[in-house]
Amino acid sequence: MKALVVYESLFGNTHSIADSVAAGLRPHGEVRVVPVGDASADLVAWADLVVAGGPTHVHGLSRPKSREDGRARAARPDSTLALDPAASGAGLREWLDALATVRGTPAAAFDTRVSGPPLFTGRASGAIAKGLAKRGFRLVAEPESFLVDAQTVLVAGEAERAAAWGERLASPAPDAGHS
C-alpha cells in the first residue's frame, strides 16, 4: 500500500496528528506526509490511500482570513503559539477545490478541534470528507476529530489515538465503507 497523508496546520497540532496517522499506516507500506502546499496531482495519483486533515477554524475548514488571523495571533508579543513551518499559503479548502477528479481512490478525513461538543466547536473533517467524495474518492472511514485544549495544545492521548486510527485505515476491513 502507498499512503499519502496531506495536512494543513497552523500551530503544528494537525501536523503532529498527520505524523501519528502516518506512523499507524507505515507498517503496511510506504507513507508520505506532506503539507497541503506540496500535495501535487502526481502524489495524489501515486497513492493507494489519501488521508487529508486540517484544523477547524470558525466551525469548519479554514479560509484565507482565518489563517491570516491565526498567523497574527501567533505574532503577538504575548503569544506562546509557534507557527508550523508550512503555515503559509493555501489551505485544504483551496486544494480540494483545485483537485482533479479521481476514480474511487480510498480516502479518509480528519481534523483537529477544540475539545467540546461538535455543535459548539464545529468540525472541519466533515467538509474535508465531502470535498474528497466530490472529487471521486471513496471514503473508507467516518471523519475523525482529534482534540486540542483551550490553549491550543493536543489533549493527552490524541497522538496515540491518531496512530491507532491510521492502523485501522490500513487494515483490510476499514472502519466503514462510505461514499
Distance, CA of 106 to CA of 128 (rounded, Å):
14
Residue appearing with cell numbers 489563517: 67
Return mean pLDDT, the chain: 92
Average pLDDT over residues 17-24: 98
**φ/ψ bin of 57: left (φ > 0), alpha (ψ from -120 to 50), beta (otherwise):** beta
CATH, residue 45: 3.40.50.360
**Mean of pLDDT values over 132-139:** 97
pLDDT digit string, tens, across residues 60-76: 889 889 889 989 999 99
At 90-131, the pLDDT tens digits run 899 999 999 999 999 999 999 999 988 888 988 999 999 999
Q: In which domain, by residue range, is 37 found?
A: 2-170
Does residue 38 sit within a domain? yes
pLDDT at 151 > cutoff 70: yes
- Please give the residue that has the higher pLDDT: either 157 or 59: 157
Sorted by sequence, the CB contacts under 8 Å of residue 122 that are 6+ apart come out as: 56, 58, 59, 60, 113
Whether the pLDDT of residue 2 is over 80: the answer is: yes
Residue 172's pLDDT is 61
| Domain contains 66 | yes
Query: Is 177 within a domain?
Result: no
Does pLDDT of 146 surpass 60? Answer: yes
Residue 179 within a domain: no
How many domains does the chain contain in total?
1
For residue 154, list its beta bridge partners. Answer: 148
pLDDT of 174 higher than 80? no
Residue 14: inside a domain, yes or no? Answer: yes
> Alpha-carbon distance 83 to 93, whole Å?
19
pTM value?
0.92
Residue 48: predicted pLDDT: 97
pLDDT value of position 110: 98
pLDDT for the residue 175: 44
Does residue 166 lie in a domain region? yes
Is there a domain that residue 178 lies in?
no
Is the residue at 176 inside a domain?
no
Burial 44-79 (b: 16+ CB within 10 A, else e): beebebbbbbbbbbeebbbeeebbeebeeebeeeee
